[in-house]
């Protein structure tokens, strides 16, 4: 953020206050005569985009939030003009959800239904439930987590006729080079990426947003226009404890997890990511004879992204907490209960 270049100008960016919202109008004429003002730029995520971009992970290429930026000689001039410019937004799908509690209720209602996708199925869970001495049922929630790095998100680009130079604290500099190519206007050998100190990336800077017009960098540098929330997950687990030994052994494990789908306004998520770890746990890999792992998606509008350990962190919490619940139901110390369970797990080395 302290990079200084000759003839440098500054942008102050305002995104839709609601995820997935659209810019209805902005009046540049109202501010164009203010000191130092050069232009206003509208970011329209719905514009055609390249189809050959290869994302670093299965999340897909992230989509920019609808926004407007004011360009000026100095940042404070841009910020002041942006605050003075009349702007009108359309909340669009975000207007449907009024509170987090409403979203949680919709997600937990989805857990009452059979999953849209069966991630793993072994044995006969229904028979295990019928013959169970005890049945343990629990629901879990991990909320949206906001990234809160100490350093402001920022980036600097120098665009000339023959080359692009980018200064940005991104761990994924290769994506920065791709982004700087500006829809093939510059070849990769003419794009130069100066990797400054990374700071707290936490995975979000592994992705990039290309300028919809392919001119220069705009929102291109990885993660420069605002981080995403880590996906909120809601989980349901049920287990059948066998009757012959007083319910000390887990004979059936059913897990359902709910996440948001990527929706029509271009926000992307990876349903496959939020089940990571569940089908591969010891419970689902031979320790429990009857297993069913299901996933369900709901049309939330919150734009999400990575925050280290996508899927694994929430799912480990679900599974390990559920094992504690089963141990309590069987009246066995949780550590002893785990040793009994995992003692059945074969050598995975």
Q: What is the pLDDT of residues 217-231, one digit of tens each?
A: 333 333 334 557 777
For 148-216, give the DSSP string. --SSPP--EEEE-SS-EEEEE--S-HHHHHHHHTTTTTS-GGGEEEEE----S-TTGGG-----TT-SS
Distance between CA 169 and CA 171 in Å, rounded?
7
Q: Where are the domains of the chain?
A: 10-93+148-206, 99-146+228-342
Is the pLDDT assigned to residue 348 strictly greater than 80?
no
Tell me the average pLDDT across 90-94.
82
In the predicted structure, residue 266 carries a pLDDT above the cut 50: no
Contact (Cβ atoms closer than 8 angstroms) between residue 61 and residue 54: no
Mean pLDDT value of segment 101-107: 88
User: Do strands 250-260 and 290-298 pair parallel, antiparallel, or not at all (unpaired)?
Assistant: parallel
Between CA 263 and CA 254, with CA 236 as vertex, the angle to 5 degrees is 110
DSSP secondary structure string, 13-66? EEE-SSTT-EEEEE-GGGTTTSTTEEEEEEE-TTS---S----SSTT----PPP
The hierarchical CATH code for the domain 10-93+148-206 is 3.90.1170.50
Structure tokens, 193:
């990426």
| Reported confidence tier of residue 210, pLDDT bands at 50, 70, 90 | very low
pLDDT at 341 over 70: yes
User: Are the C-beta atoms of 111 and 296 separated by less than 8 Å?
Assistant: yes
pLDDT for the residue 212: 35
The pLDDT-based confidence of 309 (bands split at 50, 70, 90) is low
Q: How confident is the model at residue 223, as a pLDDT?
A: 39
Residue 173 has pLDDT above 70, yes or no: no
Extract the tokens encoding 195. 């990797």
* Beta bridge partner(s), residue 141: 234
* CA distances from residue 264 to 45, 65, 208 in whole angstroms, order as listed: 12, 13, 20
Phi, psi of 149 (to 5 degrees): -70, 155
Mean pLDDT computed over every residue of the chain: 78
pTM of the model: 0.74
Segment 248-262, tens digit of pLDDT: 788 899 998 887 754
Distance linking the first and last C-alpha atoms of the chain: 47
DSSP string, 66-107: PEEEEEESSHHHHHHHHHHS-EEEE-GGGGG---HHHHHHHH
Match domain 99-146+228-342 to its CATH number in 3.20.20.140, 3.30.365.10, 1.10.3210.10, 3.40.50.1000: 3.30.365.10
């Amino acid at each position: 953020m302290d990079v200084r270049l000759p003839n440098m100008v500054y942008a102050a960016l305002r995104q839709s206050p609601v995820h997935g919202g659209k810019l209805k109008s902005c009046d540049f004429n109202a501010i164009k005569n203010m000191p130092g003002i050069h232009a206003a730029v509208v970011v329209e995520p719905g514009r055609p985009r390249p189809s050959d971009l290869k994302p670093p992970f299965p999340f897909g290429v992230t989509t920019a939030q609808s926004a407007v930026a004011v360009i000026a000689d100095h940042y404070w001039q841009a910020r002041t003009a942006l605050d003075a410019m009349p702007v009108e937004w359309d909340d669009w799908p975000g207007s449907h959800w009024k509170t987090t509690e409403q979203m949680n209720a919709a997600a937990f209602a989805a857990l009452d239904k059979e999953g849209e996708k069966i991630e793993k199925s072994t044995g006969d869970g229904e028979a295990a439930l019928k013959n169970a001495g005890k049945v343990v049922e629990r629901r879990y929630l991990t909320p949206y987590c906001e990234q809160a790095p100490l350093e402001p998100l920022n980036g600097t680009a120098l665009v000339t006729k023959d080359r692009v130079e980018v200064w940005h604290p991104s761990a994924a500099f290769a994506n920065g080079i791709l982004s700087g190519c500006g829809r093939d206007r510059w070849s990769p050998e003419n794009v130069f990426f100066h990797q400054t100190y990374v700071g707290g990336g936490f995975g979000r800077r592994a992705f990039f947003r290309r300028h919809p017009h392919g001119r220069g960098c705009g929102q291109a540098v990885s993660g420069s226009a605002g981080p995403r929330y880590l996906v909120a997950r809601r989980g349901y687990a049920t287990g059948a404890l066998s009757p012959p030994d007083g319910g000390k052994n887990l004979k059936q494990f059913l897990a359902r997890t709910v996440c948001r789908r990527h929706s029509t306004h271009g926000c992307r998520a990876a349903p496959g990511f939020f089940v990571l770890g569940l089908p591969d746990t010891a419970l689902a890999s031979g320790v429990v004879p009857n297993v069913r792992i299901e996933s369900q998606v709901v049309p939330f509008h919150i734009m999400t992204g990575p925050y280290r350990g996508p899927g694994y962190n929430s799912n480990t919490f679900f599974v390990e907490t559920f094992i504690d619940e089963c141990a309590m139901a069987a009246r066995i110390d949780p550590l002893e209960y785990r040793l009994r369970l995992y003692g059945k797990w074969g050598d995975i080395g």
